[in-house]
């Protein structure tokens, strides 16, 4: 490739990146509701009962380096005594699972949310609403897409009702 075309490609790539960033919408509707639900921490318990940040797993579709996952009281009923997702778990209506994605030890950058609410207009066929919202309130993946960007990966072998923490952090 010639120098000018390399420069032009770099320029185009930069424009594209900024374009995508600028296109991100402020959360409203379901996305805003899920963001607010995710931000509230009262009554949640942590996976394996620890709030330590974990390094992302090899199978992760989430690019942030660190993560930790918590469960509201309803979802926590599907955890076993070690605070892991029990084998036959099928999460009850109202279950809320929040994965905090941290860019580094001091920056929570995004929330990945699974909310079981079968009658919700944005629920998928299994009754889950999928949220992906940046901590600054921008939508990373709209809930209205019903997890189309998430489901295939979360349906891989050994998922439990979509959950993968149990597989990658046994």
Give the list of residues 6+ apart from residue 82 with CB closer than 8 angstroms, or none.
48, 49
Neighbours of 100 (CB within 10 A): 21
87 and 108 Cβ atoms separated by less than 8 Å: no
Out of 62, 103, 138, 144, the only residue in the binding site for ligand HEC (CB under 6 A) is: 62
Is residue 164 at the binding interface for ligand HEC, with CB under 6 A as the rule?
A: yes
Tokens 């955890």, residue? 79
Q: Which stretch binds ligand HEC (CB under 6 A): 9-17, 22-30, 57-65, 115-123?
A: 57-65
Residue of 32, 45, 46, 57 interacting with ligand HEC (CB under 6 A): 57
Calpha distance 138→136 (Å, rounded): 6
Residue 54, Cα to own-chain centre: how many angstroms? 15
State the residue for tokens 């309803």.
Answer: 74
CB of 13 to ligand HEC, least distance (A): 23
Segment near ligand HEC (CB under 6 A), from 1-9, 10-18, 28-36, 149-157? 149-157
Under 8 Å between Cβ of 57 and 168: yes
- Contact call for residue 69 and ligand HEC (CB under 6 A): yes
Contacting residues toward ligand HEC, per CB under 6 A:
56-57, 59-62, 67, 69, 97, 99, 112-114, 130, 132, 141, 149-150, 153-154, 163-165, 168
């Amino acid at each position: 490739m010639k120098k000018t075309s390399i420069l032009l490609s770099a320029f185009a790539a930069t424009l594209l990146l900024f374009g995508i960033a600028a296109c991100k919408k402020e959360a409203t509707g379901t996305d805003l509701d899920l963001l607010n639900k995710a931000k509230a921490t009262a009554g949640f318990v942590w996976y394996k009962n620890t709030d330590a940040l974990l390094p992302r797993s090899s199978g992760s579709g989430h690019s942030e380096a660190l993560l930790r996952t918590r469960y509201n009281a309803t979802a926590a009923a599907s955890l076993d005594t070690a605070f892991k997702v029990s084998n036959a778990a099928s999460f009850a209506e109202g279950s809320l699972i929040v994965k905090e994605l941290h860019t580094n030890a001091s920056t929570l950058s995004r929330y990945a949310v699974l909310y079981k609410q079968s009658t919700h207009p944005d629920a998928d066929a299994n009754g889950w609403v999928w949220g992906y919202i940046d901590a600054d309130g921008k939508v990373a993946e709209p809930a209205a897409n019903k997890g189309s960007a998430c489901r295939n990966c979360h349906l891989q072998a050994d998922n439990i009702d979509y959950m993968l923490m149990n597989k990658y952090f046994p």
